[in-house]
Amino acid sequence: MTGGEVGTGEAIVFWVSGTLAVIGALGMVISRKAVHSALFIALTMVNLAILYVANSAPFLGMVQIIVYTGAVMMLFLFVLMVVGVDSSDSLIETIKGQRVAGLLLGIGFSILLIAGIGNGLMETSSVGLNAANSAQGGNVEGLAALMFGPYLIAFEVTAALLITAAMGAMILTHRERWMPKRTQRELSQDRFASGEHPGQLPPPGVYARHNAVDTPALLPDGSTSDLSIPEPLRAREDVRDVDHADIEEVRQLSGGSSSTEGEDR
Amino acid sequence: MTDGQFGIFGGDPWWLVLGKTVAIFALLVLLTLFTIWWERRVVSRMQNRIGPNRVGPQGLLQSLMDGFKLAFKEEVIPKAAHVGVYWIAPVISATAAFIAFAVIPFGPTVSVFGVETPLQLTDFPVSVLYVLAIASIGVYGLVLAGWSSGSTYPLLGGLRSTAQVISYEIAMGLSFVAVFIYAGSMSTSQIVLAQEPIWFAVILLPSFLIYVTSMVGETNRAPFDLPEAEGELVGGFHTEYSSLKFAMFFLAEYINMVTVSALATTLFLGGYLAPWPLSLWEGANSGWWPVLWWLIKVQLFIFLFIWLRGTLPRLRYDQFMKFGWKVLIPVALVWVVIVSIARLFRNDVNLSNTELLLVGAVVIVVLLGGSWLLQIRANRKEDRRAQAEEDNARRVNEVLTGAATGHPVPPLPGQRFEYTPRRATVTSPAIASDSADDSAKEEGTDA
């Protein structure tokens, strides 16, 4: 490394965040519950972001948290939660030779990584973070100059690719409507035009002595309401009688006369 | 950081950093206690009630006492809870709420015990993005609380909050873009200073309105409080939480309210800068006075939150999502494009008056053409609807015969489906006759 010395603060940040990131990566592989895996990978991402910030790349660090931790992992969690609260992955291998293929790919990837990083450390001479950042007057300005300068085409093509993918997902999940969606106004007009009872039915009459749905409600004139009893109970004629005295009392309270007309039970 | 403009940050002695941290912590806790009381009093007033007025002068100590009571309550942890995640969820929520405040500027550079220091814990080139990042970590608290409770209503609340915060964060982020373009920086202290002659709320009014709308969605406050809609989800994500863990969610909600209000103040209302009539006074923007202006502006936003809660009913969930995705985000995008173009013209292009008029004419033609296209589309939609209704009316008594086309097709809207009587599966003669009777009866009731 041709850069400056590593300060004490930076060393502490590296060892703490680095350790946590590795723990997160291991935990993600080891844990059995999918949600725990997602949480561990979120931990890794946040710690990587801290390392980016410590390495004078604050923009990358923040975007890493907003995009990966905040949006991508959140969508993962969302899907996991929709799929099932308690579903843990089955450990049966569905693809033949999965382990061997995984091992080979892993080794290949590590060789690629080591070669790439080694090449970067050996061949390329670094100018140091401060010089790189202050070339354009700041970290964000430097990134902007690169992104909207030499790498503009690559940037735009990537954006077009992402938008195409999003459009594809939308088209694949789109369902054609048979007929225009009925508005709330139309629904409510239909409900009233049908002539059926538009609102909720009267609840059963629950008294201190009969705490059950088979007790009919009393209307203000003292008669019992058939609608307050669930239909199956009515069909079986399994309806509790209401004490005549109760009916009389309600009628008295509501100021009606003490005649027995209108009583149906 | 490396930049010269941030040189005033990071040079504080350790005791000053500690002092600022503790001061922010204390301020947030005090503001929470105050806001709970203030909210209850204001909402009471709006509903012709009195509100808490027993503990302390005007009931000011009510929320403190409620806090004590909450802390000493019994804690109930559901049997089905995933204990580790259940335990850490409120911690994530509360921690994120507190640390987001580190980059909010309260005032200009002042002298504290002989040390010149800005009234802000820290600042760096992307500190507004930092607030967004912390907010998106804070959501984990709600989501995990919902998931780990092992119960249906919290899960639904958690799902809702995920969808809600992801949707409204996009609109929120887009509303920042115009501010960044005008301020030329993403650091909070620079943005405040860039508003010296005129506030961004005035020149970037659409951004301001979009931000104010999305900040209510982001903090799960009425009328956007769907994750804890008590009429539908009991308590939403915190249904299964009690005692101190519930208190932490409560605290986080109110701190988030203060944080988004402070961010709105910083980005759009000139932060700690004095408002217009006061800014005529020379000393208004120096010393400790700006802290007062800042506090007043933040309190205005908090009052707005309370006012909204006291006024508006809760939105239906699908309408709420539609509003976010189909209104807020497109409007924000169009506005960002307009701002960028305006900025480009101001910075790089020198136009004569005729050219300017020409550009204006082109814009008007495009707008007119666009509205014409929209009208055509609306008409076509109307036609389609009428056509569909006509078709349905025609089909009302048509009977669908599955074999007509040679394929078993489902009935079109309005068509009646003819039930073919089911043949009884013959297993033994006695049962066969029985089930034939049954199925015949069933067909009778269905038709």
Question: Where along chain B do its domains lie?
Answer: 7-348
Cβ distance B244 to B285 under 8 Å? Answer: no
Rounded CA gap, B110 and B106, in Å? 11
Verify whether the Cβ–Cβ distance A62 to B129 is below 8 Å. Answer: yes
Query: To 5 degrees, how large is the angle CA A164–CA A165–CA A171?
Result: 85
Contacts of A39 in chain B (CB under 8 A): 85, 144
- Which of A69, A138, A178 shows the shortest C-beta gap to B413? A178
Check if the interface score ipTM surpasses 0.90: no
- Cβ separation B147–A85 shorter than 8 A: yes
Distance from the Cα of A60 to chain B's closest Cα (Å) equals 10
* Residue A186: both structure tokens together: 């139309």
Rounded CA-CA distance B368/B214 in Å is 30
The better pLDDT of the pair B338, B113 is held by B338
Which residues of B fall within a CB distance of 8 Å from A71? 136, 166, 169
Take residue A112 and report the two structure tokens written for it.
Answer: 């690629």
Residue A224 is inside which H or E element, if any? strand A224-225
For A218, the enclosing helix (H) or strand (E) is strand A217-218
Contact A85 B143 (CB under 8 A): no
Radius of gyration of chain A (CA): 35
**For chain A, what percentages of helix, strand and coil (3-state, to nearest 5) are there?**
60, 0, 40
- The domains found in chain A, sorted by start residue, are 8-84+129-140 (1.20.120.1200), 202-259 (no CATH)
- Please state the φ and ψ torsions of residue A256, each to the nearest 5 degrees: -80, 170
- What is the number of alpha carbons within 13 Å of residue B149 lying toward its C-beta? 26
Question: A72 touching B, CB under 8 A?
Answer: no
Start-end of H helices in B312-352: 317-322, 329-348
B window 140-199, beta carbon within 8 A of A: 140, 143-144, 146-147, 150, 155, 158-159, 162-163, 165-166, 169, 173, 186
Chain A contact for B129, CB < 8 A? yes
Q: Tell me which chain B residue has its CA closest to the CA of residue A178.
A: B413
At B335, list the tokens. 């506005």
Mark which residues 109-128 of B lie under 8 Å from A by CB. Answer: 124-126
Mapped onto helix, strand or coil, the DSSP state of residue B330 is: helix
Cβ of residue B381 closer than 8 Å to a chain A Cβ: yes
Q: Which pLDDT score is estimated for B211?
A: 92
Tens digit of each residue's pLDDT, chain A (265 residues): 344 566 777 888 889 999 999 999 999 888 877 888 888 998 999 999 999 888 888 888 898 898 888 888 888 888 877 776 555 556 676 778 888 899 999 999 999 999 988 888 887 777 777 777 777 777 888 888 888 889 999 999 999 999 999 999 988 988 877 667 788 888 888 888 888 877 788 888 776 666 677 888 878 777 788 888 888 888 888 887 777 777 777 777 776 554 444 444 4
> What are the distances in angstroms from CA B173 to CA B37, B211, B279, B438?
31, 8, 30, 63
Q: With an 8 Å Cβ cutoff, is B3 touching chain A?
A: yes
Q: What share of chain B is helix, strand, coil (3-state, %, to 5)?
A: 70, 5, 30
Q: Which of residues 340-369 of B touch A (CB under 8 A)?
A: none
Structure tokens at A46: 């946040």
Residues in CB range of B400: below 8 A, 6 or more apart: B409, B411, B412, B415, B416, B417, B418
Q: What is the dihedral of CA B98, B99, B100, B103, to 10 degrees?
A: 120
Please judge whether B2 and A81 are an interchain contact, meaning their C-beta atoms are less than 8 angstroms apart: no
Burial of A195 (0-12, 13-18, 19+ CB in 10 A): exposed
Nearest CA in chain A to B387: A179
